[in-house]
């Protein structure tokens, strides 16, 4: 069977569905006394491009990436729990957006880890075979 035949025979829904996973923020789970579980989802390719482009600025001719802006862009689009859009929750924490809430809730390491998990869902995975000791 060639690739075209395999694609035609495949379940198109499975092939094109966004990858999903759950991720526990252990520090917040311990503080709350119950699991703090994030629902993560793959970000569409066009949106990944937009997030990446928005995080790049040019100082002269050299591009510079704002890592915090990049990570927060992935987090804001990749965390899909509806709870974070709750107006009462946002008001209770004195913020207007879920981005501001995430900056209050997550420490720098958690932001990096969560963003990394979302990047994996989007296909950005380190090639372990190229890592040298």
pLDDT of residue 9: 84
pLDDT of residue 126: 66
The answer to whether the predicted template modeling score (pTM) of the entire model surpasses 0.75 is: yes
Looking at the domain assignment, is residue 85 inside a domain? yes
State the average pLDDT for the chain. 91
Looking at the domain assignment, is residue 129 inside a domain? no
- pLDDT of residue 78 exceeding 80, the answer is yes
pLDDT of residue 39: 98
CATH number at residue 27: 3.30.2220.30
Range of the domain at 92: 22-124
Mean pLDDT of 49-56: 95
Looking at the domain assignment, is residue 34 inside a domain? yes
Residue 89 CA: distances (Å) to CA of 40, 77, 102, 115: 20, 18, 12, 22
Could you give the number of structural domains in the chain?
A: 1
Record the tokens describing residue 4, joined without a space.
């075209």
User: Are the C-beta atoms of 69 and 103 separated by less than 8 Å?
Assistant: no
pLDDT confidence bin for 131, thresholds 50/70/90:
very low
Record the tokens describing residue 3, joined without a space.
């690739």
The H-or-E segment that residue 100 falls in is helix 98-105
Tens-digit pLDDT profile for residues 118-129: 999 999 976 554
Q: Residue written as tokens 């000791």? A: 133
């Amino acid at each position: 069977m060639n690739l075209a035949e395999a694609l035609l025979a495949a379940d198109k829904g499975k092939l094109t569905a966004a990858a999903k996973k759950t991720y526990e923020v252990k520090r917040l789970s311990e503080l709350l006394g119950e699991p703090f579980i994030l629902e993560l989802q793959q970000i569409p390719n066009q949106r990944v491009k937009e997030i990446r482009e928005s995080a790049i600025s040019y100082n002269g001719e050299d591009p510079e990436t704002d890592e915090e802006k990049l990570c927060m862009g992935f987090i804001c689009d990749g965390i899909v729990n509806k709870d974070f859009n709750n107006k009462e929750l946002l008001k209770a924490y004195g913020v207007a957006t879920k981005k501001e809430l995430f900056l209050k809730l997550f420490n720098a390491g958690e932001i990096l880890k969560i963003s990394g998990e979302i990047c994996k869902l989007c296909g950005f995975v380190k090639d372990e075979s190229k890592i040298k000791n």
